[in-house]
């Protein structure tokens, strides 16, 4: 039998749940469904330290029981959150169908971080689903979210994965698992859509005030706090999507329920990093029309923000027309903000320190050549960085590097070299900027798959440990990272990903 409450003295757990003080329409109180024999398979010790939780405590039997949802630490108030969402453009009532939020961990640094168990059993929002998750996808979320964090891209994080000892049934029988997800909150655009749907202005206002206090309390609320909430969310999203574009990340399912107000990447399903650059890159098996293709991400985020703005209208102004006018002004800032983050990021990737109008063309020309010549996104910038590092070290440019058999790229290189030289900046400085702006490695799909095969099929986690170690410092440019920079073997069919698995 389960003994839900876990006192957890001297373990570092310091939970409370402020979300559970919001109106009860926004969630359902419920404990995770217990599992038969949980086993810890990955633990993120550095993250545990950041959270102020002792890693040894999480590795203990009691600690594992918490990560499996069999015990509830003191201070937690387990809930499943309700939300709605536009899924591929269609509005649906959703909610945590396979997750439970234990509460917020108060970290030693004074931050408040959501602790959520994903794969923790059915909830009132499960619809047809079993409420469970399979090991492979949970490990995949762990690897990619942690890689994103190390790349410097705002993201939810992964504290641990436990196997449940119970199978889950998809097309076949799979190992069941639970991921402990950590995020600065799980407030989604869809959370606001859900609240707005009930026509209960008081609840909506409480939710909006909560979001403001939780994420933006350091900002100036100006004359209209709800308009400011929209403005801050717009800024965060513009910054986030620029970072995705700069690293070749394709989220894959940018439904409004999968967009966090905090500006963190959330809900890793069919996401993947692209190898060969092409704006129409899609990995998700169900994204038939490429709605969430790499090149569409900036405009889709804008679309999602408009849905967010709609929910806030009655709070922005009681006269709808005035509210729309004000919201539109803020929404209009999104494209230029995105563009400036994007441009600034690409300048850094190319080692450009001071702005010039011609940079846009330089960047767009490169992307054009990359697309035409089917060049690898990450490795193109890696290659440029390696060149800048060699120049900085006064090496003769290596002959073999020049042999790209790509005259169009060569031509572009000449223009870039001139642009860099004209800056009259020390070569070391340029190389330094490029090194910290261009990752040497990303979680390449073939490496992630190799890792998952070893872990799931052979219970061999060494391959994963090695990959995680390399991905923890993606800007290191060390020789032991070389293997992760290798391109995937040529395949007959494109790499495909699946969500909700
Ligand atoms: P996602 O595509 O992961 O963003 O999930 C969309 C919705 O489906 C969310 O409400 C999830 O909680 C729900 N969901 C996904 N998988 C399951 C599952 N196995 N059981 C119940 N609900 C699920
Ligand atoms: Mg989701």
Q: Three-state SS string across 70-117, please?
A: CCEECCCCCEEECCEEEECCEEEECCCCCEEEEEEEECCCCCEEEEEE
Cβ of residue 130 lying under 6 Å from some atom of ligand 1? yes
Cβ of residue 252 lying under 6 Å from some atom of ligand 1? no
**Ligand 2 center to 364 CA (angstroms):** 33
Q: Are strands 173-183 and 112-118 parallel, antiparallel or unpaired?
A: antiparallel
Q: How far apart are the first and last CA of the chain?
A: 29
Q: What pLDDT score does 222 carry?
A: 86
Residue with CA nearest ligand 1 atom 15: 500
Cβ of residue 132 lying under 6 Å from some atom of ligand 1? yes
Which of 28, 83, 98 is the best mutation target for the ligand 1 pocket, counting ligand atoms within 8 Å of the beta carbon and taking the most? 98
**Ligand 1 center to 27 CA (angstroms):** 16
Q: Are strands 157-169 and 72-73 parallel, antiparallel or unpaired?
A: unpaired
Q: Which listed ligand is nearest to 137 at the C-alpha? A: 1
**Ligand 1 center to 97 CA (angstroms):** 5
Q: Which listed ligand is nearest to 253 at the C-alpha? A: 1
Please list the pLDDT of the chain residue by residue as tens digits (501 residues): 456 778 778 899 999 999 999 999 999 999 999 999 999 999 999 999 999 999 999 999 999 999 999 999 999 999 999 999 999 999 999 999 999 999 999 999 999 999 999 999 999 999 999 999 999 999 999 999 999 999 999 999 999 999 999 999 999 999 999 999 999 999 999 999 999 999 899 999 999 999 999 999 998 888 899 999 999 999 999 999 999 999 999 999 999 999 999 999 999 999 999 999 999 999 988 998 899 999 999 999 999 999 999 999 999 999 999 999 999 999 999 999 999 999 999 999 999 999 999 999 999 999 999 999 999 999 999 999 999 998 877 654 554 554 568 999 999 999 999 999 999 999 999 999 999 999 999 999 999 999 999 999 999 999 999 999 999 999 999 998 999 999 988 876 778 887 656
Atom nearest to 131 CA in ligand 1 = 20
Atom nearest to 83 CA in ligand 1 = 10
Q: Which one is catalytic: 96, 114, 257, 267?
A: 257
Q: What pLDDT score does 403 carry?
A: 53
373 contacts 476 by C-beta, under 8 angstroms = no
Atom nearest to 96 CA in ligand 1 = 12
Q: What pLDDT score does 138 carry?
A: 98
42 contacts 139 by C-beta, under 8 angstroms = yes
* R_g over Cα of the chain: 23
Q: What pLDDT score does 1 carry?
A: 43
Kindly give, in sequence order, each residue whose CB lies less than 8 Å from that of residue 381, ignoring residues fewer than 6 positions away. Answer: 349, 434, 437, 438
H/E stretch holding 453 reads none
Distance CA 470, CA 443 (A): 9
Residue with CA nearest ligand 1 atom 2: 500
Q: Which residues pair with 179 in a beta bridge?
A: 118, 161
Q: What pLDDT score does 62 carry?
A: 96
Cβ of residue 98 lying under 6 Å from some atom of ligand 1? yes
Atom nearest to 133 CA in ligand 1 = 19
**Ligand 2 center to 257 CA (angstroms):** 6
Q: How far is CA 94 from CA 17, 103, 137, in A?
A: 21, 20, 20
Output the furthest CA–CA distance in the chain (Å, rounded): 72
Cβ of residue 97 lying under 6 Å from some atom of ligand 1? yes
Cβ of residue 115 lying under 6 Å from some atom of ligand 1? no
Please state the pTM of the whole predicted model.
0.96
Q: What pLDDT score does 500 carry?
A: 57
Residue with CA nearest ligand 1 atom 12: 97
Cβ of residue 167 lying under 6 Å from some atom of ligand 1? no
Q: What pLDDT score does 6 carry?
A: 83
Residue with CA nearest ligand 1 atom 3: 500
Say whether 359 is catalytic.
no
Left if phi > 0, otherwise alpha if psi is -120 to 50, otherwise beta: which for 49?
A: alpha
20 contacts 79 by C-beta, under 8 angstroms = yes
Q: What pLDDT score does 94 carry?
A: 96
């Amino acid at each position: 039998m389960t003994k839900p409450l876990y006192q957890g003295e001297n373990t570092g757990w310091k939970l409370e749940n402020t979300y559970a003080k919001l109106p009860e329409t926004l969630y359902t109180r419920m404990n995770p469904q217990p599992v038969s024999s949980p086993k810890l398979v990955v633990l993120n010790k550095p993250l545990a330290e950041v959270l102020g939780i002792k890693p040894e405590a999480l590795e203990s039997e009691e600690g594992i029981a918490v990560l499996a949802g069999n015990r509830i630490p003191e201070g937690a108030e387990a809930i499943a959150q309700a939300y709605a969402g536009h899924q591929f453009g269609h509005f649906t009532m959703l909610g945590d169908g396979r997750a439970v939020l234990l509460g917020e961990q108060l970290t030693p640094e004074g931050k408040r971080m959501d602790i959520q168990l994903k794969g923790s059993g059915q909830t009132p929002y499960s619809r047809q689903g079993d409420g469970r998750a399979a090991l492979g996808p949970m490990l995949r979320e762990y690897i990619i979210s942690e890689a994103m964090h190390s790349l410097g891209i705002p993201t939810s994080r992964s504290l641990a994965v436990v196997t449940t000892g119970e199978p889950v049934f998809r097309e076949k029988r799979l190992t069941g698992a639970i991921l402990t997800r950590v995020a600065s909150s799980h407030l989604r655009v869809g959370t606001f859509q859900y609240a707005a749907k009930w026509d209960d202005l008081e609840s909506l206002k409480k939710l909006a005030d909560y979001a403001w206090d939780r994420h933006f309390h350091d900002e100036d609320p100006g004359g209209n706090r709800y308009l400011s909430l929209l403005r801050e969310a717009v800024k965060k999203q513009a910054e986030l999507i620029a970072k995705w574009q700069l690293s070749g990340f394709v989220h894959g399912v940018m439904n409004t329920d999968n967009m966090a107000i905090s500006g963190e990447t959330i809900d890793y399903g069919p996401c993947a990093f692209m190898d060969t650059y092409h704006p129409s890159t899609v990995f998700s098996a169900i994204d038939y029309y490429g709605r969430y293709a790499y090149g569409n991400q900036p405009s889709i985020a804008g679309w999602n923000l408009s849905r967010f703005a709609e929910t806030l209208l009655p709070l922005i102004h009681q006269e709808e027309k005035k509210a729309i006018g004000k919201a539109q002004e803020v929404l209009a800032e999104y494209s230029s903000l995105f563009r400036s983050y994007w441009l600034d990021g690409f300048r850094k990737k190319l080692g450009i320190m001071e702005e010039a109008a011609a940079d846009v063309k330089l960047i767009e020309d490169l992307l054009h050549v990359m697309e035409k010549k089917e060049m690898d996104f990450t490795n193109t910038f890696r290659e440029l960085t390696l060149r800048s590092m060699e120049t900085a070290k006064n090496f003769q440019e290596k002959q073999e590097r020049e042999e790209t058999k790509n005259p169009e790229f060569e031509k572009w290189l000449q223009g870039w070299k001139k642009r860099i030289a004209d800056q009259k900046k020390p070569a070391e400085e340029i190389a330094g900027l490029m090194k910290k702006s261009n990752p040497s490695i990303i979680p390449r799909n073939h490496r992630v798959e190799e890792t998952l095969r070893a872990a799931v099929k052979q219970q061999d986690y060494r391959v994963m440990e090695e990959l995680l170690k390399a991905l923890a410092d993606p800007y290191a440019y060390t020789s032991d990272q070389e293997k992760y920079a290798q391109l995937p073997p040529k395949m007959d069919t494109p790499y495909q990903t699946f969500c909700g698995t």
